[in-house]
Each structure stands twice: as C-alpha cells, then as structure tokens.
Structure 1
Amino acid sequence: MKSKLTNRLRPLLLGALLLGGAVHAQVQPLDRVVAIVDNDVIMQSQFDRRLREVEQTIAKRGAQMPPQQEIQRQVLERLILEDIQLQLGERSGIRIGDEELNQAMATIAQRNNLTPDQFRAALARDGLSYEDARDQIRREMVISRVRQRRVAERIQVSDQEVRNFLASDLGKLQLSEEFRLASIVIPLSDGASPEEIQTAERQTRQIYQQLRSGADFTELAMSRSAGETALEGGEIGWRKAAQLPPAFAEMLGRLPTGGISEPVRTPGGFMIIKVLEKRGGSGAQIRDEVHVRHILIKPSEIRNEAETKRLIERIYDRLRAGEDFGEMAKSFSEDPGSALNGGDLNWVDPNALVPEFREVMENTPSGQLSRPFRSPFGWHILEVLGRRATDSSEQSREQQARNMLRNRKYDEELQAWLRQIRDEAYVEIKQ
C-alpha cells in the first residue's frame, strides 16, 4: 500500500517535504540563505528537505545515485524555477484559499479510496507530514495556474492547422499507439553559436553511445539531462507520436518497448527518447460523449479569488431563479471559445477535459446545473444537456487533433517560457 500510494501522489506531491525526524534537545545550527531569487530567498533548510526527498526517490527506484554535486545543482535549479513562478503568482493575485485546498486534499484521498483520517495515516506511514504535503499542493496549484495564464492561454490552434494535421501522415496516426516515454534533454539557448551547437550535439552523442553500451537511462537522465523531469529519471508520461517533435514520429513506430531513439535536434536543443511502454492502437472505439455548456469566471489582477467566487455564486443564484443560461453565458463567461455560443461546448469526450471539470460533469444529471466549482482555468457552472455513446466521429477526430496540437505547442512553449523567466530573474547563489 505504501509504494502504491506514494506513486499515485507523486504528480501532486512533486517534491513534497520530508519530516525531519524526532526533535532533539541540542542546539540546532542557524538557517542560512542559499540563493536570492528576485524578492525572495531560498533557505538552507528548504534546500536540505528537498534534497533528502529527491535522494529518497532515487533510492526507491533502485537506481545508482548521481554525483552529489549534480543532484544539488538540479535541486537548487528546480527550487529557483518554482520560486520565480510562485512570485509571478503572487504578483498576479493568484491565491489558493483554505476551502479550495481542503477540497483538493479531499479529492486526493477520494481517488485513493481513503477517508481523510486514513489519508493522514497513510501519509505518515510514507514519511510525509500532512501539513507539509498540504503546503506543497498549494504551491503546485499556484504554479499550475501561473502556467495556465502565461503559457496555455496564449496558445492558439487554427481550424486550418487542424485540417492540415488530419490530412498529413502524422495526423492519420492520431488513433494509433500511445507511448510512455522518458527523455534526456541537452538544451540550447536561443541564438546559440555554431560552437555551442556542436558541443551540445557532441554531448548528446556521447550519452547515446553510453546507452548503446548498456548504461542505465534513468541514471543518465538524472545526472545529465536538463529536462524538467530529469530527477524523475526523465519520465514524461504517455504521449502519442503526434504530440512529440515531428522528427520522433517515425522513430517511435519502429522502436520496441525499451528501445532508445537516436539523438534528435528540437527547438530547445537535442533529445533522446526511450519507450517505456506501449498501449492502444486499432481503429475507432465506442465512447461516451456529453453535451455540456458552462460559464467561466477567472480571477485576475483586478479581481481576486474571493471576489471571483462571490461573482460566480451570484450568477448561480440568478440561474437557479430562472434566468436564461445562454444569455448569462454571453454576458458573463470569460471563455472566449464558448461565450458567444451561450457557453455551449457541444458534444465533448470527458477524457479530453481537466479532471475537475470531468468529475463534476459526470456527477451532474442531464438537464441540471452544477454548483460553482474550481478548475485550473477558474470558477465554472456547467449544465449537462445530454449524453450519448458514439464512435470516433469526424468532430471527435478534429477535437483530438486540436488537443494534440495544443499539447505539442504547450510543451515547447513551456520550456521556452521557463528559460525566459529564469534568464530574466535576478538570481544570486550563495553556496
């Protein structure tokens, strides 16, 4: 149960702080600053806790520990990037209230089929403080919303891009296999010189030869990769070929499970990919679709979280009193893709939606309103208009293509944005 719970919590408890052990009576050394990041600091105690958590994660994987200096460098870089994003969230007025945080904790417990008390006990058995885990979830929620505002919301996919994608050989693979992947990334900055490109390519080739000679991919990812998931052995989760840089598409079709790609140049540098698992394939599948419409209200620099919640609750009261949903969506909804259509999202595949929206939609009977609820996009009210079982219709194919193109653009844009905010931040390392 212990390892199973820890694995399920890992995406939400990324970098969760470990308990420091029993309290001792002797005098403890004073804390000190290890890095100044814009208007904030990273303390030695914070760095030490995160370092212990990473080392424990590596030990649980049974992998060889990378050099201590390399682990410390990557942990500090991760803390610096997190701190920059948290400060952006603070300046943007992003707040996670206690009620919303409690709901998130309850959702995690529910997904693991645990009561709140059982969840606390399970965390303690895994060596996690409930309060520290709760604080880390708050941090992750803030970072998620900062990325949503700064990266995801500016990504646009045109109808012509969707049509071109579906007509391409790559687009025809959209219902093909999915791959669970890990990556090793050797980055290149914008405007890299020919010498820098040659150096990065040479480093990537050396890593590739080590892998061909039997070196462990996880260990090399942790010690050599600059990817965001390097300390997780480079694992990036499930992807379709279409969600990756085009150069990898044909390679994935030929690689067996456990296979490793040759180095490929991408917009952000050079990358090597390993296929951990495969699933799916074949043709169209029957699936459930839901006809739903919604109203979205988003916090902003001029309207904080509490004011946004009060506004969505007033809209909910007016809908309950009989006002027309479509007209209210046109007047108030801040979803540019559906507001002018009265909030109508048409028939959607629940699996294409964020978990918070999907769960509320699944628990709302046809013809009824949901209560206001929070997702990474903001506060919603939804109304379920109908449900049906369908095969992979043309509309569904287009939506899948749009999602894949958005995911591809998001992955590339996120890496570029992270490099940008890191370059623009004032960082002074005191170690």
Structure 2
Amino acid sequence: MRKKITQSIGILLLIVGSFQVSAAEYLDGIVAVVEEGIILESELAQEVASVVIKLKASNVQTPPENILYKQVLERLIIDALQTQLAQRAGIKVSDEMLNGSLQAIAQQNGMDFEGFKQEIELQGMNYEAFKESVRKEIVINQLRSHEIGARVKVSEQEIDHYLDTEISAADQKVQYLLGHILIAVSEGASAATIQAEDAKAQSVTEQLRLGGDFKQMAVSVSDGENALQGGGLGWRTLNQLPTLFVDVVKTMSKGDIADPIRSPGGFHILKLIDITGARSHIITETQVRHILIKTNELINDQEAQRRLQLISARIADGDDFAVLAKANSDDTGSALKGGDLGWVIPGLLVPPFEKAMGKLEVNELSEPVQTQFGWHLIQVLERRNKDNKEQQKRNQARDDIRKRKIEEETGLWLRRLRDEAYVDIRLGALNE
C-alpha cells in the first residue's frame, strides 16, 4: 500500500472524489462574495471532496450534504478573509521560503525533494496546486503572527504565578487526549440568541452522554477550527490547554463528557478520550573551554588554522591551556577566564561547535573547528547528567502560556474578523 503524504501545517489534499456530481450541478458560479473577493462553486465542491476523503480515511461518517457544504464554506470564507488581510498588509512568501517549507515537508515524510514531488503526482495531486496551498498556509500563519503573536508577552511573574497556582508537578506529567465541540456565539449577540445556543450546547451534551458519536457530532455541529477533523485537539498537558478548560479537565475521567463551558466565543463541550504520562528531563551538561582566532584582512582561514595548530602543539608539550587562551584568544569574554565557557546545555552553542564538542573525550583537544565566529580550539573539561526539570518547567511554562494566549486571542480575532466582514452567501440552502 502506498504511503500517504502528510505534512505539519494542515494542507488538505485537493482531490475531487465522491462529490463530483455536486460540482457538475453547480457548474462554476459564485457561491459567496467575501469583501472584495469571491468563492466559486467549483472551489467549494473541490474542498468538500477533499474533506470527504479525509473523513472516510478516519472512519467518520459524513454529515448531510447541506451541513457539510456549510461547514466547508465557512472555513473557505475565514481563509479568504485572512488572505485578503495579508495582501493588504503586504505579507508575501518568497519562492526560497516556500521551497524550504516544501523540503521540510518532504523530510518529515522520509523523502528527498524530487521523490516527494513524484509522490505528490503519483497520488493524483497537482504539484503546483499543492505548492500554492502551502504558500497560502504560510501567509496565514505569518498574518496571525503579525496580528496576534507580536503583542502576546509572557512575564516572569506570570510564569511564577502559573507554576505556583495552576499546574502541580504531578499534573505536568499527565497528557490528555481531548475532543472539542464549539457552539459559537457572536460578539454582541442578543440574550435570546445566547439562550438558544446554550440550549443547543446542553442538547448536544446530553446526546453525547447517551452514546452519540463525538467525531460525527463535531463534524455536524461544531464551529471550532478542528470540526472537520472530528473535533480532536490532540495530546496536550494541562498547561497547553486554554485557561478555562484546565480546572474542568483536571476533574474528568476517561470517557467523560463535561458540561458546556461558557467563553466569550461561545459554549465549549469537551470529551476526555484518553490519558497518558510524561517524559524525563535529564540532560547532559558539558564544561568546555576554547581558544578563538578570528579571520580578517590579515588573517585568512589557513593562517587561523596554523596558529591554532601551533597552540595545540604547545599544550601537548605541557603549556597551560588557560594561559595560552588569555594570551591568544579573540573571544575576550572567555579569554579572561582562561577560555572557559562554563557548563553548557544542548542547543546553547552554535551547531558546528556543539557537534565537535560532542565527539571529544574529557580533556581531549579538538582539531581547529570553523564556525561563523572564526576558528576554535576546543577542550572538554567535564560532563555530567543533570535533572533540568525546574528550568524545563519554566521554559515549558513560558511557551505554553504564550501558546494559550495566542490560541485564545486567535479564536476571538477570527470571530471578530468574520462578524465585521461583508459576506454575501449566494447558495440558497446555506442561508437557511
């Protein structure tokens, strides 16, 4: 069986399948006007077809055709609004950046670039169309980073408070597999509308508790971004969940359906599908020192290497590394300490330096190693394994608080973008 292409930024495969009849019925008229742009009926039918394929691959029954078309059209509208906003902001993706992303996708699938292109074509996809889908997704991600990510900040006080009050050490070792359904409520909705959506959320919750299929229900009724994937949020720790979910999820058992949770964006229904444990945070620290010779108009690569080889020979004859570092190293900060860079953790130093350092035994001298800073003579003094849990907790807390804020802001921003936009849906059944 041929391996299916996957990639991390969520591009759906544009394959026209079981909904070709619908595309033929509509021919190629306008299904929606979105600000200054349009969505064609053929675009809608094509996207519906790809969604149907993904649902079938996940063994999720497709909802009634009018509901599916409405869900997919809403997603196309949101994408169109973001694309237009990105164009107005002057956001563009160069061919170089696009090709880099495509190469990364190929590597994720265990292929070289040419093999990946061939596989795309063999699976019935148009490679140029696939490229443009990737380009559009990158543009949207850059737009969200510009509109939301740039203004999201995380303070040390927030991290302290977060670790002290929200997530215990035991909690951090637990991962949750969650399903999510959103019954959206627009900003400024009337009390009657809110009450009606609340009643809808309660009804959906009861149906699920009576044995309703969660994935099928999500596809049919959810307004969340993951609706067409059956509402799955994937594996997450508590500190990767939106704030308003945390206290609820901590009390749930496997298989539970929570009561609807109210937020500014609507009513959220959660199912705890599974629970699992966490990973160790043991890292290897290295105490390392070096001597740096920088290149310039007077010292080329060959001269820098020659000088380091002479220094290496002197150390082999008994001269002190620290004394030679103070006298010869162009890294003035470490030279004052005899070339000592202290204890370093993985990822702290530039890759060529770290790669060479990793191959050295304790007290062994390297050959001259080139980085963007110049040429280095490297010596490892000691290694130790350390439980980096506390620093890892803070780093993870910072990342997760930021992700949480971005996720919450993105949901509100998308809802506001949709509510404030001019959208004229011209397919009668979708206006009912």
After TM superposition, the score normalised by the length of structure 2 is 0.72
Question: 1:216 maps to what in 2?
Answer: 213
How far, CA to CA, are the matches of 1:274 and 1:44 in structure 2?
A: 35
Question: 2:39 maps to what in 1?
Answer: 42
How far, CA to CA, are the matches of 2:387 and 2:59 in structure 1?
A: 43
1:242 corresponds to 2:239: yes
How far, CA to CA, are the matches of 1:394 and 1:221 in structure 2?
A: 38
Alpha-carbon spacing, 1:205–1:325, altered in 2? closer, same or farther (3 Å) = farther
Contact 1:16 1:136 in 2 (8 A): no
Q: What count of residue pairs does the alignment treat as equivalent?
A: 352
How far, CA to CA, are the matches of 2:354 and 2:134 in structure 1?
A: 27
Contact 2:33 2:423 in 1 (8 A): yes
- Structure 1 residue 202, shift from structure 2 partner: 1.3
Q: Secondary structure at the match of 2:4?
A: helix
Alpha-carbon spacing, 1:246–1:418, altered in 2? closer, same or farther (3 Å) = closer
Q: Secondary structure at the match of 2:236?
A: strand
Which amino acid in structure 2 is aligned with residue 212 of structure 1?
Answer: R
- Structure 1 residue 165, shift from structure 2 partner: 0.9
Alpha-carbon spacing, 1:215–1:369, altered in 2? closer, same or farther (3 Å) = farther
Question: 2:4 maps to what in 1?
Answer: 5
Question: 2:405 maps to what in 1?
Answer: 409
How far, CA to CA, are the matches of 1:222 and 1:362 in structure 2?
A: 48
Question: 2:223 maps to what in 1?
Answer: 226
1:93 corresponds to 2:100: no
Which amino acid in structure 2 is aligned with residue 56 of structure 1?
Answer: I
How big is each residue's C-alpha offset from its partner over 1:54-87, in whole Å with a ceiling of 9 and x where there is no partner?
1111122222211111111111111111111111
Alpha-carbon spacing, 1:39–1:254, altered in 2? closer, same or farther (3 Å) = same
Question: 2:317 maps to what in 1?
Answer: none
How far, CA to CA, are the matches of 1:187 and 1:199 in structure 2?
A: 11
Alpha-carbon spacing, 1:203–1:81, altered in 2? closer, same or farther (3 Å) = same
How far, CA to CA, are the matches of 1:362 and 1:241 in structure 2?
A: 37
How far, CA to CA, are the matches of 1:71 and 1:28 in structure 2?
A: 16
Alpha-carbon spacing, 1:37–1:325, altered in 2? closer, same or farther (3 Å) = farther
Alpha carbon RMSD of aligned pairs, Å?
Answer: 3.6
Q: Identity percentage over the alignment?
A: 34
How big is each residue's C-alpha offset from its partner over 1:228-250, in whole Å with a ceiling of 9 and x where there is no partner?
11011111222211232445334
Question: 1:427 maps to what in 2?
Answer: 423
Question: 2:111 maps to what in 1?
Answer: 114
How big is each residue's C-alpha offset from its partner over 1:181-229, in whole Å with a ceiling of 9 and x where there is no partner?
2200112223444333322221111111111111100000000100011
How far, CA to CA, are the matches of 2:212 and 2:352 in structure 1?
A: 46
- Structure 2 unaligned residues grouped into runs of 5+: 19-23, 288-299, 305-329, 333-342, 358-368, 374-379, 428-432
How far, CA to CA, are the matches of 2:198 and 2:209 in structure 1?
A: 16
Contact 1:263 1:270 in 2 (8 A): yes
Question: 1:152 maps to what in 2?
Answer: 149
How far, CA to CA, are the matches of 1:261 and 1:89 in structure 2?
A: 37
Question: 2:282 maps to what in 1?
Answer: 286
- Structure 1 residue 19, shift from structure 2 partner: 5.4
Question: 1:329 maps to what in 2?
Answer: none
How far, CA to CA, are the matches of 1:20 and 1:195 in structure 2?
A: 41
Question: 1:78 maps to what in 2?
Answer: 75
How far, CA to CA, are the matches of 1:278 and 1:180 in structure 2?
A: 6
Question: 1:377 maps to what in 2?
Answer: none
Aligned to 1:66, which of 54, 63, 87? 63
Contact 2:241 2:404 in 1 (8 A): yes
How far, CA to CA, are the matches of 1:268 and 1:173 in structure 2?
A: 31
Alpha-carbon spacing, 1:127–1:210, altered in 2? closer, same or farther (3 Å) = farther
Contact 1:15 1:54 in 2 (8 A): yes
Contact 2:172 2:278 in 1 (8 A): yes
Contact 2:184 2:266 in 1 (8 A): yes
Contact 2:182 2:268 in 1 (8 A): yes
How far, CA to CA, are the matches of 2:218 and 2:285 in structure 1?
A: 39
Alpha-carbon spacing, 1:200–1:173, altered in 2? closer, same or farther (3 Å) = farther
How far, CA to CA, are the matches of 2:352 and 2:411 in structure 1?
A: 33
Name the larger-Rg structure: 2
Contact 1:16 1:132 in 2 (8 A): no
Question: 2:395 maps to what in 1?
Answer: 399
- Structure 1 residue 271, shift from structure 2 partner: 1.0
Aligned to 1:418, which of 404, 414, 419? 414
Alpha-carbon spacing, 1:285–1:243, altered in 2? closer, same or farther (3 Å) = same
Aligned to 2:161, which of 146, 160, 164? 164
How big is each residue's C-alpha offset from its partner over 1:152-187, in whole Å with a ceiling of 9 and x where there is no partner?
111112221111111114354562211222200112
Alpha-carbon spacing, 1:241–1:349, altered in 2? closer, same or farther (3 Å) = farther
Which amino acid in structure 2 is aligned with residue 223 of structure 1?
Answer: S
- Structure 1 residue 268, shift from structure 2 partner: 1.9
Q: Secondary structure at the match of 2:38?
A: strand
Q: Secondary structure at the match of 1:181?
A: strand
Which amino acid in structure 2 is aligned with residue 120 of structure 1?
Answer: K
Contact 1:18 1:53 in 2 (8 A): yes
Contact 2:283 2:345 in 1 (8 A): no
How far, CA to CA, are the matches of 1:430 and 1:255 in structure 2?
A: 43
- Structure 1 residue 363, shift from structure 2 partner: 10
Question: 1:375 maps to what in 2?
Answer: none
